[in-house]
Amino acid sequence: MSEPLVLELEVKPLDFLAAGETATQFKETLKSLGLPPEICRRAAIVVYEAEMNIVIHGGGGVMRLQVEEDKVTIMAEDEGPGIEDLELAMQEGYSSAPDFIREMGFGAGMGLPNIKRNANELYIDTAPGKGTKLRAVIYLNKGR
Amino acid sequence: MAHGVKIVEQSCRGCVNCIKSCPTEAMRVIEGKVRILSEICIACGECLRRCPHRALLLEEDEWDYILSKRPMTLVTDPSFCTQFSWPPIPELMTQALFELNFEPIFDEYEAAYDVTALAVARAIESSSDNLKPLISTYCPAVVRLIQIKFHELIPHLVQVESPLETSIDLWRARSKRRDPVTLVSSCPARIAMVRSPVGRDISSAEFAISTSKLAREVLIGSGDPSKKVSVDHPFRVPRWIAWAKTGGESMHVRSFSSRPIKTLEVDGLRNVINLFQEMELGKLRGIDYVEARVCDLGCIGGIGNAESRFLSRIKIDNMKIDFNFNEENREKLESIYNAKIWSLRERIVPIEQMPLGEDLAKAMERLKQLHAVYADLPHLDCGTCGRPSCRVMAEDIVKGEGSLDDCIFRLKERIADLSKEIYDLSKRLVHTMTPEGKS
């Protein structure tokens, strides 16, 4: 097993113009490795949604992509307010995004459910005031 | 693969303007001359727009050769009709081209464009939601862009033939004639379509020339046809002319839809790329059809036009185009539809790019090397190494297609190091010398 490949990018708070850049860049990386389009697509969606969460709620943070021979891991870390009720946040349509963000067409409450749908494993470590750490794993030899 | 772009070596000064405009990074400057990596070129024509030395031209067939072949049938892009001071109606265009001894087949366009629009409308109606929005295949550069850079979107491409090809097929079927056809094109991508078609093994056209070339010959050779042919006022403008400008296709498709559809019309290369990136992220839910054109304003903005795209737009906007289909022709249209003449015969497939390594472990190793090489480069994307960016340079080096010394900044550093070493060496004393000076 060779050393995992790690890529790290900083995500700035409320920077809607740059939002999606991490997803695009990580996806290009996965494509250049010759991974199947289906894996690249799922990973890009996970990265995009996690990135948007950091932009909207997290007050900025760090996105990390880790590629190993059998899996792709996406990590998102912020030091924002944390998620109060994780079970509620996992429900489709539930959103705590403020009005001005919804007016821009974001914050539809699909972020976390979308991540869950596209990843094989999802771990979230969060508590109010403690920030949020998200880790999603996509296995290369497993379907959804 | 053909790309419809011709490099004029004597004019190329290796200035790297063009390689920086390429959306797929398919250009390099090698030994002072530009090269195109044809397998990843989408034939959009951006490089032609950027070249200040006219070293990049459309790869059209020789005009004299086209003239020497008789009879010669012409299929012109609809934008051809907007190139002149007279109204863009087929009767006048036919007269002008007859005088140059060409046989245009405008008569087939109405059926060809109608059946195309009908086929698209039906494809939208029968498509499942997860394949929506469907994407128009009218712009060949858009198709190639998706084949090369947006593989996930390939199932969204609507499997409908270009109506220009369909009109030739209809003409051949009706007239039973086999003499050659020349496609008149306003962009490199349509010229490439004649040489390396997508979705069919061989194009129905044999030759290709540019709109600007033919327009110039018409202006010199035949003059204003409206002085010779009388047209009824108000004249009837056919629907297919609307396809010359972005939005025309969608209007036509909508006129054949049995229920309201949501279409999105986007033009300009940057906009099209942004749209496809968003689409890959699943952000275009609720849209039924995407009409994307790489040229600003659509085909009237193609690099091979003679007329200003802004004036062409005004001409189209000022015309009353009737999108209401004459139901008397319904039976004829349905019979053409049922003949499936509009359908792409082959599926559009992705053009795979070589991954960095044969397997994932090797590719990961290469990517790590690539990151290391990249970190050592100046990140100025100056282009002096002949590549569009430092990242492409790093990629080429890792693939064994370049050396770090190609970078002028790295070379400068090495020369500085070397001259320091030479200086230090020159200060070293030989044993027969004393430190005070010469013996």
ipTM computed for the complex: 0.73
Pairwise CB contact (< 8 Å): B367 & A29: yes
Q: What is the CATH number of domain A5-139?
A: 3.30.565.10
pTM of the model: 0.86
Instruction: Chain A: give the shortest CA distance to residue B378, in Å.
Output: 19
Q: Where are the domains of chain B?
A: 5-58, 63-338, 360-427
Q: B15-54 burial string, b = 16+ CB within 10 Å, else e?
A: bbbbbbbbbbbbbbbeeeebebeeebbbbbbbbbbbbeee
Which residues in B lie closer than 8 A to residue A69 (C-beta atoms)?
360-361, 364
CATH 3.30.70.20 fits B5-58, yes or no: yes
Pairwise CB contact (< 8 Å): A35 & B360: yes
Residue of A nearest to B363 (CA): A33
Superfamily of domain B360-427: Electron transport complex subunit B, putative Fe-S cluster (1.10.15.40)
Q: B158-190 burial string, b = 16+ CB within 10 Å, else e?
A: bbbbbbbbbbbbbbbeeeeeeeebbbbbbbbbb
- Of A100, A42, A97, residue with least CA distance to A71: A42
- Of B102, B123, B220, B205, residue with least CA distance to B163: B205
Which residues in A lie closer than 8 A to residue B282 (C-beta atoms)?
45
Q: How many CA atoms lie within 13 A of A40 on its CB side?
A: 21
Query: Other CB atoms closer than 10 Å to residue A124's CB: what's the count?
Result: 17
The CA distance from B275 to B270, in Å, is 9
Query: Other CB atoms closer than 10 Å to residue A113's CB: what's the count?
Result: 16
Rounded to the nearest angstrom, the gap between the alpha carbon of residue A28 and the centroid of all alpha carbons in its chain is: 16
State the residue for tokens 């008397």: B328
- Dihedrals φ, ψ of A74, to 5°? -115, 125
**Helix extents (H) in B177-308:** 188-195, 211-221, 248-255, 269-280
> Reduced to 3 states, what is the DSSP secondary structure of residue B155?
helix
Of B278, B281, B356, the CB nearest to A32: B356
Pick the residue of A26, A33, A46 with the most B CBs within 10 A to test the interface with B by mutation. A33
Pairwise CB contact (< 8 Å): A20 & B360: no
Which residues in A lie closer than 8 A to residue B281 (C-beta atoms)?
20, 23, 44-45, 48
Which residues in B lie closer than 8 A to residue A23 (C-beta atoms)?
281
Pairwise CB contact (< 8 Å): B281 & A48: yes
Helices vs. strands in chain A: H and E counts, helices first? 5, 5
- List the B181-185 sheet strands across, edge first: B103-104, B73-76, B181-185, B207-210
Residue-by-residue pLDDT tens, chain B, 439 positions: 889 999 999 999 999 999 999 999 999 999 999 999 999 999 999 999 999 999 999 999 999 999 898 889 999 999 999 999 888 888 899 999 998 999 999 999 999 999 999 999 999 999 999 899 999 999 999 999 999 999 889 999 999 999 999 999 999 999 999 889 999 999 999 999 999 889 888 899 999 999 999 999 999 887 788 888 887 777 788 999 999 999 999 999 999 999 999 999 999 999 999 999 889 877 888 899 999 999 999 999 999 999 999 999 999 998 888 888 888 889 999 999 999 989 998 999 988 877 787 788 888 888 889 989 999 999 999 999 999 999 999 999 998 888 998 999 999 999 999 999 999 998 887 888 777 755 5
Instruction: Chain B: give the shortest CA distance to residue A97, in Å.
Output: 18
| Chain B interface with A: residues with Cβ < 8 Å | 151-152, 277-278, 280-282, 355-357, 360-361, 363-365, 367-368
Which residues in A lie closer than 8 A to residue B361 (C-beta atoms)?
2, 69
